[in-house]
Structure 1
């Protein structure tokens, strides 16, 4: 249990550091490669769902895993119908372009609040996955980090476009990353009280990741683009799939269960 807990906190720490990546990259690089990062995230998310996370959820929770996954998929569908599109704009302008999308008094707090809730769910999913198996935990952590990169880079770009300095934007994003710690801690405590909680959380995460990958990220990759950018997106998507598949194979050989 101590080893599992250590893995959970290391994965949450890696997720938090990934959320601050935007401040380390040049603005020109962000503008040029953001779509490829989105494709990479889509491949990693979908690969993790079908290769690791959902099979583990079914093994842990039984047939009810299908019900929980479907419920989370429908919940996100209805949420977007009533509240509008997903708050992350993956085609966001680079920080230097200073796009104007409304008053920062409403955009910035709503973006950070949505990000905080998202990170809470990510932390819970990572903790639940490691409690089920190390393989599921590694796959979930990779999927979360892969999605975190373009998401947080886009958020960073939007905060900079709204007038926040580099340091204030990174401080704001760093603050909301702490909710992932709360999510992981809640699952660690709850699993000692609620029997089978890990399987339920994994099933919910499967439906959530499937929704994000299939309806939020993949449609972004179908937009009109140059042949070179299209090739970059295809390569990114395949690399995301390959990363999850290879991580599962390596973990099975190197990390004892």
Structure 2
């Protein structure tokens, strides 16, 4: 619930004047958090169990390909671009995009949030500190997405209150996913390593296929230095919250 409410509330209160800059900053921070959560915490925790490493790598491969196919079918995500984001869209771009897929945006977010809830539950069952990290990572990568959603809905004619309420309702799907994941995975703990690997594949896919290409479009040294520093800050946050030690996971 916190992951959904925080990301949606942050998107709702950000001013339009700072919107583009804030998205850029959140993208860089998200990359550091997502990659370090996946590669330094979630995957090591999954491989510390008794699951077959080949099966876990197969799950990682299936997850990456699955997220690619979902994105191709426009189920998982949609365009995060909007007027004023520096991409020189024509006037009326947002209304046009929202007119075609405004409700699909909400449906896609609901599905995405449901999956996030399951992943958070699996992470908490494996290790409470990993659960906290997973929730923080989800908040970090959801805020840029929710900003895009919020602006598109506003340009589609939604009032601020209506856009916020609909997004908030979608975020409650994470609670449903969390409850389902908790009560299902608790009875099937052998599946937790596989769900963790699947979660890691999602974080890696989002970072590498969506967020990092956005950062590559800003290639000057002046723009690159803050990106690198914010990525490092994201890694540092994960290391700090996990203690940089996996011994407790045994």
TM-score (norm 1): 0.83
The unaligned stretches of length 5 or more in structure 2 are 86-90
The whole-number CA distance in structure 1 between the counterparts of 2:79 and 2:97 is 17
Distance 1:54 1:235, change over 3 A: same
The whole-number CA distance in structure 2 between the counterparts of 1:193 and 1:242 is 34
Distance 1:219 1:256, change over 3 A: closer
Conserved in 1, the CA contact under 8 Å of 2:56 and 2:194?
A: yes
**How many pairs does the alignment contain?**
243
Conserved in 1, the CA contact under 8 Å of 2:83 and 2:94?
A: no
Conserved in 1, the CA contact under 8 Å of 2:34 and 2:207?
A: yes
Select which of 50, 59, 70 maps to 1:79.
70
TM-score (norm 2): 0.86
Conserved in 2, the CA contact under 8 Å of 1:190 and 1:197?
A: no
Alignment partner of 1:246: what SS?
helix
* Counterpart mapping for 1:28-67 below 5 A: 28-60=17-49, 61-63=51-53, 64-67=55-58
Distance 1:243 1:93, change over 3 A: farther
Deviation at 1:172, TM superposition (A): 1.2
Deviation at 1:92, TM superposition (A): 3.0
Distance 1:145 1:104, change over 3 A: closer
Conserved in 2, the CA contact under 8 Å of 1:116 and 1:177?
A: yes
- CA deviations on 1:33-58 (whole Å, 9 max, x unpaired) are 21111111111100100111111122
Distance 1:130 1:166, change over 3 A: same
Conserved in 1, the CA contact under 8 Å of 2:38 and 2:204?
A: yes
Distance 1:101 1:227, change over 3 A: farther
